[in-house]
Amino acid sequence: MAPPQADTADIRDNPVYTVSATARHLGMSSGMLRHWVVGRSYSRRRRSAAVEPLIRATATSGLISFNNVVEAHILQAFRSRDLTRMAAVGRAIASAETALGIDRLLLRPELSDSGQDIFFDRVAQLLKLSRSVELAMRHRLSASLNRLDRDDEGFPVRLYPLMPLGSADRRGIVIDPYVALGRPTVAGSEVETASVAGRIDSGEGLQAVADDCGLDVAQVMDAIVYERAV
């Protein structure tokens, strides 16, 4: 079973996000995300080497899709400023995809079981990871996967980005391609986080915004923290 592809008109593959906005949504640098999308050259023993794109963008417009956002979210479990390491991660993903006969491993349900084991076997060989480093990576990957809701076929339909300075278990904010054109909203509502923060900045009170939006004050604070603390 293949994940949704761009030619199926699946909304999850529509290129609607800028790299800078996605980086802010995910709490990472836009430069790092851009390297994952377009690749980058680097010096390896005085010779030029390249990190191939780790995320397969669906268009050349400079925009990326919800599925790409999910891929970036999951890649953060392995992120490093060491380009050699990220190149190895890319090769390990490709190797696992070949072994399993699938495409886009980062979106697949297999990443939670057999695909994960194959990936880590390969990345451990390429990078000679210590056991503790591998366990830390596995823990981060598990935490990333737990921030996703999946459809009946096992592919992501909602992403709950990590809250800055908040509990790793809290799912206060959601990115859902079927709600508010995919912009971040307060979970369980269609209220955009940017709108909440803007209203507070314009002078409205917390309780007034909460009442008008059908939220509680804690949810309003979630939106503010998400928008302004990243």
Cα(38)–Cα(138) distance, integer angstroms: 26
- Residue-wise pLDDT for 189-219, tens only, equals 999 999 999 999 999 999 999 999 999 999 9
Q: What domain range includes position 204? A: 162-230
- Residue-wise pLDDT for 26-64, tens only, equals 989 999 999 899 887 655 555 556 668 899 887 667 899
User: Quick one: pLDDT at residue 116?
Assistant: 93
Determine how many CB atoms are found less than 10 A away from the CB of residue 51: 21
User: Is 179 inside any structural domain?
Assistant: yes
User: Is 182 inside any structural domain?
Assistant: yes
What DSSP string describes 56-88?
--S-SSSEE-HHHHHHHHHHTTT--S-HHHHHH
User: Is 214 inside any structural domain?
Assistant: yes
User: Is 206 inside any structural domain?
Assistant: yes
> pTM of this prediction?
0.88
How many domains is the chain partitioned into structurally? 1
- The CATH number of the domain holding residue 188 is 1.10.10.10
Check whether 154 has a pLDDT greater than 80. yes
User: Is 59 inside any structural domain?
Assistant: no
| Three-state DSSP state, 103 | coil
User: Quick one: pLDDT at residue 72?
Assistant: 96
